Structure 1
Amino acid sequence: MDRDTSPRRPAAPAKPASPAVSGTPASTPAATTRAASGTPATTPAASAMTTSAAASTPGAPPGAIGYVDLLRGIVEDSGAGFAVLDTDLRYLYVNPHMARMTGLPAAAYIGHRLNEVLPHIQRSEQVLRDILRDGRPRETVVTGRTWVDSPYQVREWRCVYHRLVDGSGKVVGVAGVGLEISEPQQYVYELERAHRRLALLDAAASRIGTGTDVAGTCRELAEFVVPELADASGVELTPPDTASARRTPTRLVAYATRPGLVSGLAALDAGGELVGWPRGTGTRRNLAAGRVWRRDGITEAQWRSLIPRWPPARACLAAGVHSVLLAPLVSDGRVLGILMLARAGESAPFSAEDATVARELAARAARALDRAVRFEREHTMALELQRALLAEPGQLQRHAGVETTARYRPADDGSLIGGDWYDVLTLPDGRTMLVIGDVMGHGVDAAVAMSHYRSTLRALALAGLSPRRILQHADRMVADSGFERVATCFLALGDSAVATLTYASAGHLPPVWLAPGGSMHLVPVPVGPPLGSGLGRYEQRVTPERGGVLLLYTDGLVERRGEDIDRGLARLTELSLCPTDPLDKIVDTVLARLATGSEDDIALLAARAVNS
């Protein structure tokens, strides 16, 4: 438990011209008071003063003076603080217990206000003035620090105040009695703080790592800890393949500050410049070992050593940042980066409890961050592989009298890179094979499976097989190989010599025909099972090539969550397109009108017969 750092005790104020004697009731009109109700006051001071008045008044009951001594002894020996104040709220009397628990002699109070003798105590004077005005006793809580050390972070007293009047009914002051409740309140505060910390860690699971991108996860972590745990925060990551014998390089990815705080953390970014933690420093040793590093009361010289470049260190000084806590982001024994926490201004330094919470929070966040790093790496690999396998639109122009163009577009959130592909193959006999397909799943595995399917179909097509035979052999080959990822696929074989198109489908959506007159309709094709199922019995259909544009696509173009696929197909066939426009314009128009909001990647291939 933190101990209170009490302020330096002032010299006892000089006594006013007519003070009460320290530790005894003052010789003032308050010594002859009665409660406003006309009955003896309920507080010890009021009772004692009332009895004293009776003893000093002609006609007082015999033996009353004994009660005065008895009640005075109770007040003076009491374990509760007791005080009497005049109508200006200046002290007339304090009992010995109040003097002991505040660290000031009783004489120091007499004739002075609370803020003059105990400037770090908060008490509402308006409550006392209300008591003087209406005579109704009130209970209040007084908090703050006194001139003696305390094991409690905040001292608290529960006090009851009563108005005092003299025998003529004149209001002469207030009397108060208070019991310290610091110990039970400290227990309550600790329970509440522990509850807040547990709630913070529990909330981290649902608020950090909601997405799959690294930058977004870092931003969620930085914003999550402000202002609950820090005034400013930053997340630095160690880029891959940048290890150095002299420094541990990191780059600031995200930062956050509480409103109104000018933070030096932003200056750390410096356009993506790497920041190194020098070899031999305690910072680097702690972070390399996965330990939390904490420092309070940081000086200018320490800022210079803590932050290798001076401008951000100077900005931190200007912002009044006095305490820093660094928690390593460690997952599976690998240090991914650093969670930096800072406190400034009036905020308390970081405690050992804060360090424990930060360490646990960093450990939980590191797991989410590690998932994002792995996903981003896999996502990049899959995208590069897919783009390497898919020909660029400029390469798909003319193939034996067939003009083609194609587009590939990842999902809107960029997270679903996988198995969509298209292909155009000119066969030895002059015919042209158009292929569109979609492998189940996403990621590197799906991209690799797509490459396998693409190569298999190419080999079978070059062997001179018909579309349905190509699908049958591909289905059997994939099933026999034990390959677990099935795929849908659509083949269209164009023969310009006889002006026909031959279609076959393995579980794929039907193509769309843009007729010379501008109408659009789905091409009816018998649908067989997906490739890889081992059930392959496929049919094909031959139609005359009547002029126009054939559009082949994957389901990301028309499929939407919670919507019937027929609605998506209707949107496609209801498009208004000009069949004589360049194919690039046609496919770009289709994507512009239909691709927004897609949760899957999209492959789109357009083909049109041309005169040789």
Structure 2
Amino acid sequence: MADELGWRSSLADPQQGLGPEVLIPETLEVDRWAPSEEGLSRTTLNNRPTRVDGPGAELVVRRNSDRFRFVGAATRRISRGIDLDEIVLGLCRASVPAFSDAVLVYLCDQIPVGNERPAFPLVLRLRRLEQREGLAGEAETIDWPVLEVSEVRPNSALAEVLRGVRPVFGHSAVAQAAFLELIGPDRTEPTGRHTILAPLRGRRRVIGAAVFLRGARRPAFELDDLLAAAQLATQTALGVDKAVLYGREAYFADELQRIMLPDSLPQPTGVRLASRYLPAAQTARVGGDWYDAIPLPGSRVALVVGDVMGHSMTSAAIMGQIRTTAQTLAGLDLPPQEVLHHLDEQAQRLGSDRMATCLYVVYDPVAHRVTIANAGHPPPILLHIDGRAEVLKVPPGAPIGVGGVGFEAVELDAPAGATLLLYTDGLVESRARDVWTGIEMLRERLAAAATQLASPDQPPPLEAICDDVLAVLAPGDRDDDIALLAARFDGIAPSDVAYWLLEPNDQAPRRARKRARRALSRWGLDNIADVVELLVSEVVTNAVRYAERPVTLRLLRTDILRCEVGDDSPHLPQQRRALETDEGGRGLFLVNRLSRRWGATRLSAGKLVWFEMSLTPE
């Protein structure tokens, strides 16, 4: 009876007789590995018949046919593997018990890739041991300790066998010494023709070894079994080479995509953020999904989610370029529709087929408003305080890269306590449902999660919402990346905001000091009033020196105090170290020393200089 790989057990039975003479035609000139006592040598068969004489010719033909079917089925099984474990498992399952009672697979501890030089000295590590179980359910072939790691010493017997590349029986002195070096000196099983050692040679070099063993109760290996062992070893080695190369490329692709995503989200005033990113399935793991949160002048924040079409290294690279461009445009404080317009131009410069969808949102915690512009992306979902989830009506727009189209922005309320969810289509679209069905499922899931997770006096935790909405995916139906960005709008109450316009004249610093002190007194922050008054005076003085239009001064009280001074001059201030004889140049030095942090941002119509203070003196 044939086993699952089509190799009858009679192949290993030397007691079978020989039948009448049979003529086996060889119609093609092919390469053949001819067996010798020590290994294999290459010969060529000409276009002439091979004559098999003797009474068992029919059995020989059948056994050769079974051997070819076995090798074909085994190589197909090995080649189906993608990673190292699958390939090695394919070799083991194909070999045991059809070809051997046990197999040990050793691979280099560090498998070289491409033109990399192998590690020295070469170290072989046991990757897998597979053996047939006996009638009592216990392994009956290997019952001695097997070495997990073997070092291939120069000029050793193992090094000589590996250099030879060809499979060898274990009966010669060199082969027996190689076996002892590889699998350990404590073996008690017979060697000889009950053992085959097959080096695993990839495209360029030996990357491991496979040991095939048969127990004493089973017939020994024959010469033709070396041919089968060579085929199995070659297929395995080439598969391992490809798996290592694929793994290296996938690693670089994952690293490329990972470094293009933010390591951590900022903590802007008046909003809390959470994000999730899930790569696509193993067969399409590199994509162009991205998300970002970019602090803007005036305590605002830009929320961005996008998806470059396609799954390749090119998609990831284009994503990185578009994301960088979006960050640059956001720093210019352009309106959302203008940002998408410039992203569209950039995508067209990258190529005629470089398209992406993008959703760009600007949240103002003082005005409690969001401004949204869309470029062919799924609409955001707003979770209200009462637990109602709403798909926002945003003009869809055309994807970035189409060219020749305009983008429209809408401004909507963003009440304190509400949560805005931005996502890519991988979360809502799959082989089992269209995108709009998925959006409706996501909306229902978000509302249900809010009901389950919310407490009487607190909205649902943001991180828990992100984890819960990911469950909208059915197991196994995802074939695209997922980027998810959630924003909880806390806002800044009007009572915590003080705002003034100052004419750019010599009286502006005095008025600024007076109004700042009055606001701090109203907030109960007299303990830091002296320092804030000094810093406000310095920053306003710098502003009115170059401004032509009124200067803005705004104070924001949250868990910190933030002061913002804006003017119409595009020149950013530079901190310098003043000399003892200089009468000025110490303003920014004081700001740097006395504030928690400070900065300056160039706007489309000027600049904004800001600094932050702790509510209690440090």
Provide the residue aligned with 2:464 in structure 1.
585
SS of aligned partner of 1:457 = helix
- Among 140, 159, 170, which residue is 1:296 paired with? 170
Amino acid at match of 1:561: R
Amino acid at match of 2:246: F
Provide the residue aligned with 2:86 in structure 1.
216
- Among 258, 262, 268, which residue is 1:391 paired with? 262
For each residue in 1:339-394, what CA deviation from the matched residue of structure 2 results, as whole angstroms up to 9, or x when unmatched? 332222233333332222222233333333323212211222222333333334xx
User: Aligned-pair distance for 1:336?
Assistant: 3.3
- Please give the alpha-carbon distance, in whole angstroms, between the structure 2 residues aligned to 1:319 and 1:589: 59
User: Aligned-pair distance for 1:264?
Assistant: 4.6
User: Aligned-pair distance for 1:266?
Assistant: 9.9
Matched, 1:355 2:238: no
CA pair 508-611 structure 1, distance change in 2 beyond 3 A: closer
If the length of structure 1 is used for normalisation, what is the TM-score? 0.63
User: Aligned-pair distance for 1:544?
Assistant: 1.7
Provide the residue aligned with 2:195 in structure 1.
324
Work out whether residues 236 and 254 of structure 1, in 8 Å CA contact, stay in contact via their aligned partners in 2.
yes
Provide the residue aligned with 1:61 in structure 2.
none
User: Aligned-pair distance for 1:611?
Assistant: 3.4
Provide the residue aligned with 1:421 in structure 2.
290
Provide the residue aligned with 2:481 in structure 1.
601
For each residue in 1:459-518, what CA deviation from the matched residue of structure 2 results, as whole angstroms up to 9, or x when unmatched? 121122222222222222122133865333222111223222122223322222212111
Work out whether residues 248 and 284 of structure 1, in 8 Å CA contact, stay in contact via their aligned partners in 2.
no
Matched, 1:557 2:430: no
For each residue in 1:268-318, what CA deviation from the matched residue of structure 2 results, as whole angstroms up to 9, or x when unmatched? 574xxx4222221343234345x223123478x9756524377x442x425
Work out whether residues 492 and 504 of structure 1, in 8 Å CA contact, stay in contact via their aligned partners in 2.
yes
Provide the residue aligned with 1:367 in structure 2.
238
SS of aligned partner of 1:367 = helix
The runs of 5 or more residues in structure 2 that have no matched partner are 1-11, 21-51, 493-618
Work out whether residues 366 and 491 of structure 2, in 8 Å CA contact, stay in contact via their aligned partners in 1.
no
Amino acid at match of 1:449: I
CA pair 247-324 structure 1, distance change in 2 beyond 3 A: farther
SS of aligned partner of 1:253 = strand
CA pair 355-507 structure 1, distance change in 2 beyond 3 A: farther
- Please give the alpha-carbon distance, in whole angstroms, between the structure 1 residues aligned to 2:344 and 2:469: 31
Q: Which moved more, 1:410-419 or 1:553-562?
A: 410-419
CA pair 386-522 structure 1, distance change in 2 beyond 3 A: same
- Please give the alpha-carbon distance, in whole angstroms, between the structure 1 residues aligned to 2:162 and 2:352: 44
Matched, 1:482 2:351: yes
SS of aligned partner of 1:527 = coil
Provide the residue aligned with 1:186 in structure 2.
56
User: Aligned-pair distance for 1:429?
Assistant: 3.8
Work out whether residues 471 and 536 of structure 1, in 8 Å CA contact, stay in contact via their aligned partners in 2.
no
Amino acid at match of 1:341: F
Number of residue pairs aligned between Structure 1 and Structure 2: 431
- Among 16, 19, 37, which residue is 1:154 paired with? 16
User: Aligned-pair distance for 1:414?
Assistant: 8.5
- Please give the alpha-carbon distance, in whole angstroms, between the structure 1 residues aligned to 2:307 and 2:488: 22
Matched, 1:465 2:344: no
Work out whether residues 348 and 354 of structure 2, in 8 Å CA contact, stay in contact via their aligned partners in 1.
no
- Please give the alpha-carbon distance, in whole angstroms, between the structure 2 residues aligned to 1:499 and 1:414: 43
For each residue in 1:321-347, what CA deviation from the matched residue of structure 2 results, as whole angstroms up to 9, or x when unmatched? 963323333343243333332222233
Work out whether residues 320 and 345 of structure 1, in 8 Å CA contact, stay in contact via their aligned partners in 2.
no
SS of aligned partner of 1:543 = strand
CA pair 243-401 structure 1, distance change in 2 beyond 3 A: same
User: Aligned-pair distance for 1:588?
Assistant: 1.4
If the length of structure 2 is used for normalisation, what is the TM-score? 0.62
CA pair 513-334 structure 1, distance change in 2 beyond 3 A: farther
CA pair 382-403 structure 1, distance change in 2 beyond 3 A: same
**C-alpha RMSD of matched pairs (Å):** 3.4
- Please give the alpha-carbon distance, in whole angstroms, between the structure 1 residues aligned to 2:385 and 2:166: 71
Work out whether residues 553 and 603 of structure 1, in 8 Å CA contact, stay in contact via their aligned partners in 2.
yes
- Please give the alpha-carbon distance, in whole angstroms, between the structure 1 residues aligned to 2:119 and 2:254: 33
- Please give the alpha-carbon distance, in whole angstroms, between the structure 2 residues aligned to 1:356 and 1:157: 24
CA pair 317-512 structure 1, distance change in 2 beyond 3 A: farther
Amino acid at match of 2:388: S
Matched, 1:248 2:118: no
Q: Percent identity?
A: 32
Provide the residue aligned with 1:117 in structure 2.
none
The runs of 5 or more residues in structure 1 that have no matched partner are 1-143, 146-151, 159-181
